[in-house]
Structure formats: C-alpha cells, structure tokens
Structure 1
Amino acid sequence: MTEEQLPDPAVRVTDADEIARDLLIVPNRDVPLVPNIGIIGGAEAVLVVETGMGTANAEQVLALADEVARGRRLFLTTTHFHPEHAFGAHAFAGRATYLVNRAQADDLGAKGAAYLQMFRGLGDAIARRLDGAEVPVPDVVYDDAYDLDLGGRIVRLRPTGRGHTRGDQVIEVPDAGVLFTGDLAETGQFAIFPWFPPHDTDVSGVRWLTVMDRLAASRPAVVVPGHGAPGGPEILTDVAAYLRELRDETWRRRDSALAEDAVAAEVRALLIERHPEWSGREWIERGVGCLCAEHAAR
C-alpha cells in the first residue's frame, strides 16, 4: 500500500469489546495507523492505553472513557511516542493524568516534533487527523517501573528497554492476565522497524528479540498487540521467531560479505515466500538495515 492510498486512520469506539471484567479494547480493525486502544477500570479510577492519532480520535476515546468511568478518576498512558499511539494526549489535558516512563518522555521531547512533521507528509487524510495536534507533555514520568492502583486492581507499567523505540513500555493487568505490548508485537504483519538513518536509529533488532523472549516467558493469557487482532501468548513467540529469523538470515549473508542491498533483496524475497499473507512488507528492508548496522557493531 502506498502512502497516497492510506485510509483515514479513524478510531471507531463503537467497536469496543469487553475482553475481561471492566477491561475494554477498541480494536484497530487492521486499519493502518490505528492502534488497539485499552480502557482498564478499577473501583476508583480508569486507565486509558493509547489515544489514537490526533484530536478528533482522542476526543472520542476520552468520551468513551468518561462514559465507562462514571465519575472515577482518569489516567492515560501510551506504549511509546509514535503519533498514532500518543499524539492525541493533548485532548486529555486537565481531564486525565498522563504518565509514561523516562525514556518515552525523552523520545517525545527529542523526536516528537520531527515525527509530527514526518507523519503530516504521509497523505492528506493523515495530515487532517494531525491538524492542531501537539507533541504530548506527560504529567508524571517514572523511571524503573510504576504500579498504578486503580482501586482493587493494580496495573503494572513496565519499560522494556530499547527495542522498537528507546522508550517502549508494556502494560500488564495481572488479575485479567492481559498484556498490552504496543508495537513490540503485531499480528498479521512484518515487525515495524522505524530505522530512519541518520535521524532515528534507536530501534534495535537484537535487543527487541531479547525483550520478546522475556515477554513470551511470562505467558500472559491475552496479548493485545499494537496493531492486529488480540490473541494468546503465541503472538509473542511468533514475533520472537520472526525477529530471530530476520536476524539470522541477515547476518548469515553479511558474514559472507554480501552487499547490504543484495542482502535486503534476498531476505525480502525469502521472508515474503515464508509469510505471504503478512502485510507491511516495506518494513523488511528497514529491519535488514538495522540488523546490518548491528552486525557491523558486534
């Protein structure tokens, strides 16, 4: 799919589905640049996970959260700083407490404006969604971990270290066995590698694989990926298997001194043959570029 063909990244809150007690998912319906969004309730407060892209999407999510909360306090968090996940947080200002990990806050400050400009160039529908959008400013920034007490329900916010971005965090709902991964995991598509040298090279295929192996070992009952359908723990093992496959096929060819463009062409053809039903083929070459750089740095 070309940038010109990207559909309007509209969040549709009418599709919200309760997957556990007082835990809603607004599914992305496989629409590009629409994340899966969570609304998690406790006796005293409600946490929203992700905002959707831009003011109008975020206002719909906020309205649904208000309806669910019925007077309970609102919190907001985002899995990482990319615009479809976080660039609606300004709509929650004064209504919800926005909290993120330190590395994500640093990403927002250092890269937010550039990503906002870049995304506005992805087509008219995207630009309209981002009209009036602002780079989010968190209310609370934590370092190592954050346990949020919603009243009778603890939600764990855990930074994972560098992977898809520097500031990835996962959100665990232990009593429901639910894990929100952001773009560390997707279903039905190749892993998204935001490898944009020289401006952004913080993605790490090697560390991402380590993160996924660790998350897979925790065996959550339900995994809510950044994009694509929620499912079981096999989502995590499948992503780990793909990242290992991408690393091994890339490094095997670099070990034989094959040029990077030749490596990218061969690996792309091989992985499409193995996963013909997956979308996001444009991310294969980005992943190869990242792993070639990491191969050179070994």
Structure 2
Amino acid sequence: MPEPVVHIEGVQELARDVVVIPNRQVQLVPNIGIIGGGHSVLVVETGMGPRNAEKVLEFAADFAKGRKLYLTTTHFHPEHAFGAQVFAGGATFLVNREQAEDLKVKGPGYLEMFKGLGEPVARQLEGVELAEPDVVFDQEYDLDLGGRMVQLRATGRAHSKGDQVVKVPDADVLFTGDLAEAGQFAIFPWFPPYDTDVSGTRWLAVMQRLAAEGARVVVPGHGEVGGPQLLADVRDYLELLRDETWVRRDSAVSEQTIVEEISALMIQRHPEWAGQEWIEKGVGCLCSEHPA
C-alpha cells in the first residue's frame, strides 16, 4: 500500500474559479475540489487524516484570498472526510443528515478498520478526531458562494448510506465521490455482517439518473477527470453486474461460481480497470438483493 498522501501538484482548472487537486492514481487519495464564488469558497473532500487536510486547507486558504471557506464531503469514508477536524474554526462544515449519522455511528469503526490496512495508512490516521458538521441538511442544500450557486444533493443509499453529489450548474461540473470512479471497478464496501449499507440496485438507479442528466465535466472519487461518458460507463457496468448476477442466481448457481464467472467476464470486458477485487463484493451485494 503506497502512502495515501495528497500532493498539491498538477492542479487542474475545470472552469473559472473551479479546480481539482488530482489523486494521481494513488490508492486512498481522493480527487479534491475547490469551488470559488464572489465571497466564499467551497472545499470538496479533506484527504485522509489531519496532515493531508492541513495541506488542503493551506491551498484552499491561498486560493480563497480572504473569501469565507466552506467544507463538504461526498461521504464519510476516511480518505474523504477524516481530516475535517483541521477545518474547525476556519471553515463551515456541512453535509447531509444521513452522512452526518454515518460519520457519528460508523466513523469510529472505520477508523480502526483502516488503521489495520497497514502502516502507511495508520500513519495518516494518527491524531484523527471525528468532526461534527456545523450545518446538517436533509436532502438538498443550495450554497451561495457569491454569484455562483453550488448544489449539494443527497442521493440516498448507494455506495454508502449518506452519499451526496456536488453540482456547479453555471460551469456544468459534477463531483460524484465514490459513486463513480474512472478506470476502476465500482467499490462495493460489502462487509457482512459489519457493514451492508451499500446497495447495488439503488446505486444503479442513482447512476441512471445522473447519466441521464449528464455533465460537461465529471470529477470521480478516484481517477481521471472525465465527461458524461464516465457516468454512462459506471451505469452500464452496474447494470451488467446486476443482470449477470441475477440470471445466474435464478439458475441456482452457487455464489462462488457466480463470482468466478462474472469476474472473468468483467475482466475480459475491462482488462485495463483497477480494483478487480471489488467485483466479488459487488456480486455478494447483488446476490443479497436478488428478488427471490
């Protein structure tokens, strides 16, 4: 496992006053967004742990040049939200209600689980204190940055219980978090009996809607920034994963056989995609959702 460290380099300008700090294809480093308006700036994601978040905050403060700072996260997972404590007092932290509940209830368990992934990850998680959001909303929040409105939209249960997307309508930019990854199989955090909040069927429904709406620029949770095809690729993968899993489930094939057959099929279709281990998790999740 490489060091999950955010490097403030290769920053991409997506539109006027909208940039992304790319994850550079490093595992457990998210794409981090900075969105500016006339009087305020919104940061999307913190990076994993306080040292990463300190670098993000320093960059954001310099970018803001005195403008008010806000912070939001697309979901509660450690590389996306476990640096929020650094922003306390310097930025207003706002998330949807389901995500706030995830952070409070499941955050401590995820902190310990991720520390067990190896010394590089554990180092970045040293000193983490799970932050409480300043503003919690139900489904929708329109944030006025001054001449630019940013839409925070809870999607409902999908990759996690509290997923949300961040839309910049005037620039037609969409931040998806881990609802969409580029060049990688969809990450299914399916860990029964400990965590079964991920839902393949609900995730597919969310992606069908997002793909229909489209966006000029799509910033995935991890991987290269893309366009509307990225949303369509994730939708099509989830749809095929569901259909191929369920047709085998209908035939009373064992789950292990389903995993082997579908893994071979998906790797053949997408040999260049990373994260092949997530195919098995996706099959397990969708087997549990099979309409028996």
The structural deviation recorded for 1:274 is 1.2
The structural deviation recorded for 1:269 is 1.2
Partner of 2:64: 69
The 8 Å contact of residues 58 and 91 in structure 1, kept in 2 or not, is answered as yes
The structural deviation recorded for 1:136 is 2.5
SS in 2 for 1:184: coil
The structural deviation recorded for 1:192 is 0.2
2:104 and 2:287 map into 1 onto residues whose CA distance is: 28
The structural deviation recorded for 1:142 is 0.2
User: 196, 207, 210: which one pairs with 2:205?
Assistant: 210
Structural mapping, 1:125-274, within 5 Å:
125-274=120-269
2:149 and 2:167 map into 1 onto residues whose CA distance is: 9
Deviation string 1:244-272 (CA, Å, 9 cap, x unpaired) is: 01101111110000111111111111111
The 8 Å contact of residues 80 and 168 in structure 1, kept in 2 or not, is answered as yes
Partner of 2:106: 111
RMSD (Å) for aligned C-alpha atoms: 0.7
Equivalent residue pairs, number: 292
1:194 and 1:144 map into 2 onto residues whose CA distance is: 23
The 8 Å contact of residues 173 and 179 in structure 1, kept in 2 or not, is answered as yes
Partner of 2:282: 287
Tell me if 1:17 matches 2:29. Answer: no
SS in 1 for 2:179: strand
What code does the residue aligned with 2:140 have? A
User: 32, 37, 50: which one pairs with 2:32?
Assistant: 37
Partner of 1:3: none
1:193 and 1:33 map into 2 onto residues whose CA distance is: 14
Tell me if 1:89 matches 2:113. Answer: no
The structural deviation recorded for 1:37 is 0.2
SS in 1 for 2:20: strand
1:249 and 1:122 map into 2 onto residues whose CA distance is: 31
Partner of 1:7: 2
1:283 and 1:135 map into 2 onto residues whose CA distance is: 27
Deviation string 1:124-165 (CA, Å, 9 cap, x unpaired) is: 000000000122211110002000000000000000111000
TM-score, length of structure 1 as denominator length = 0.97
What code does the residue aligned with 1:186 have? E
The structural deviation recorded for 1:101 is 0.2
Aligned sequence identity (%): 66
The 8 Å contact of residues 195 and 287 in structure 1, kept in 2 or not, is answered as yes
What code does the residue aligned with 2:222 have? H
Question: Moved runs in structure 1, 4+ residues, more than 3 A?
Answer: none
Structure 2: gaps of 5 or more residues: none
Structure 1: gaps of 5 or more residues: 1-5
TM-score, length of structure 2 as denominator length = 0.99
The structural deviation recorded for 1:14 is 2.3
1:289 and 1:168 map into 2 onto residues whose CA distance is: 21
The 8 Å contact of residues 116 and 135 in structure 1, kept in 2 or not, is answered as no
2:5 and 2:123 map into 1 onto residues whose CA distance is: 11
1:124 and 1:145 map into 2 onto residues whose CA distance is: 38
Range with greater deviation from structure 2 (128-137 or 201-210): 128-137
